[in-house]
Amino acid sequence: MNSPFSPDVLPEDRDALMAESLCLANAQLVLPDRMIDGHLVVENGVIAGITTGAAPKGAIDCRGDLVMPGLVELHTDNIERHLEPRPEVDWPHLPALLAHDAELASTGITTVFDALRVGSTLGTGKGRYDPYARKLATELLEARAAGDLKISHFIHLRAEICSETLLQELADFGPEDRVGLVSLMDHTPGQRQFRDLTALRAYQAKKRNMNDLEFAEHVANLKRMQARYGAAHEAGAVTEARRLGAVLASHDDTTAEQVARSAEIGVGFAEFPTTLEAAQACRDAGIAVMMGAPNLIRGGSHSGNVAAAELAKAGLLDIVSSDYVPAALLLSAFRLAELWDDLPRAVACVTGNPARVAGLSDRGWLEPGLRADLLRVSRRGSAPILRGAWSRGARVA
């Protein structure tokens, strides 16, 4: 199908176990531009056919439920919650990774770009952040190679511009590491997401138990690092993204000038623009806009930034991410469907659009020849209820 995005195709593992055959019948099939009543046939892990004819013997009767593509998640911090279930509590990594994978499958996510921070703050104190991404990525890729994971995993490197070790940490990754995304994160206090230092102070007090003096020292240190390393880190991260074959994303664009810079360096999509001005500038520059599902469901940003629903009503929303609540992604599609009165358009924001912008042309739509990443969903009022999830035709939830 035609797409507004023109990404490069990332390599995908072809050795995973696949169901030999599957048929989901008596279903409402959510196609890219319409819905039809019919059935869908899977052979060897791919969609073999979509038809309104008689279903073959042995088909699963969906009893009128929706059948739609599996969800594609580009930015989730969920893995961190399993690694550190409480502040200063380190959980064993493999069990944490398996729990994270299983949770995503249970919410309908069949492809995920696991967000890992690169760029650390050394020294002492509560503002310290130690390197961890290389070790965790290795453990994740080993679990995948062993067949321990239910769904398809890629790596999303969150490149912290305001740090000391970004370029060294990026250099530890290679094209073989399934790094699909590199996002440019500049969390310098007083701009972008944390223009309001009051909101940042409350966040750090809760997350890291900082008092006012510690917070002031933290802010001053971050500003010093941005002044010293910011330009070199941005340029280096752009170069490293190209070396890794990854799509480049911006983060928390606030002004038209920041979006112009994003366009200049080759950004493919914008994560969570904070203003209507920035979202409109993204549209004008041909940069896809992604917003968080919690923002949409809660009715606004927890940081006081632009509401996702406002962008949706203005026609400026292309992609939704679960961000920190995996179960929010499926629900967000149905909230958008109510707002737009267009379920296929809404479903595309959590399936086909993120797949295409991330460079995955083999999934995200119900079309013959694509991966059989599928969901069976019923509705109770306006709430979706996941009845089944399949990854390459194998049931995972």
261 contact partners, CB below 8 Å, separation of at least 6: none
The stretches of the chain forming alpha helices (DSSP H) are 78-83, 93-106, 133-145, 166-171, 197-208, 212-244, 256-264, 276-285, 293-298, 308-313, 328-340, 343-348, 352-357
Got the DSSP string for 149-162? -SSEEEEEEEEESS
* 191 found inside a domain: yes
Query: Alpha-carbon distance 268 to 359, whole Å?
Result: 10
List the chain residues with pLDDT less than 70: 1-20, 123-128, 187-209, 218
Q: Is residue 49 part of a domain?
A: no
Taking the CA of residue 281 as centre, how many other CA atoms within 13 Å lie in the half-sphere pointing to its CB?
A: 22
Angle at the Cα of 145 from the Cα atoms of 138 and 95, rounded to 5 degrees: 65
Whether residue 330 is contained in a domain is answered as yes
Determine, yes or no, domain membership for 382.
no
| Amino acid 37: pLDDT | 96
**Closest CA relative to residue 197, chosen from 217, 184, 215:** 215
Residue 7: per-residue pLDDT = 35
323: β partners = 76
Is residue 383, in this structure, part of any structural domain at all? no
Taking alpha carbons only, the member of 76, 65, 66, 158 closest to residue 118 is: 158
Number of domains in the chain: 1
Q: How far apart are the first and last CA of the chain?
A: 28
Give the amino acid at 172. D
Is residue 295 classed as helix, strand or coil in its secondary structure? helix
Task: Give pLDDT tens digits for 374-391.
Answer: 999 999 988 999 999 999
* CB-based contacts of 371, cutoff 8 Å, min separation 6: 45, 46, 47, 362, 363, 392
118 within 8 A of 183, measured Cβ to Cβ = no
Would 393 be classed as within a structural domain?
A: no
CA–chain centroid gap for 373, Å, is 16
Q: Give the residue numbers spanning the domain of 166.
A: 70-360
Whole-number Å distance between alpha carbons of 269 and 273: 10
Question: What CATH number is attached to the domain comprising 176?
Answer: 3.20.20.140
Q: Is residue 12 part of a domain?
A: no
Percent of the chain predicted with pLDDT > 70 = 87
pLDDT in tens, 18-41: 556 899 999 999 999 999 999 999
What letter represents residue 382's amino acid? Answer: S
pLDDT on residue 57 = 87
pLDDT of residue 125: 62
pTM for this model (two decimals)? 0.89
Measured in residues, the chain has a length of 397
Alpha-carbon torsion (191, 193, 198, 200), positive or negative? negative
Tell me what pLDDT residue 129 has.
73
Give dist(CA 380, CA 396) in Å, integer.
22
In a domain, 98, yes or no: yes
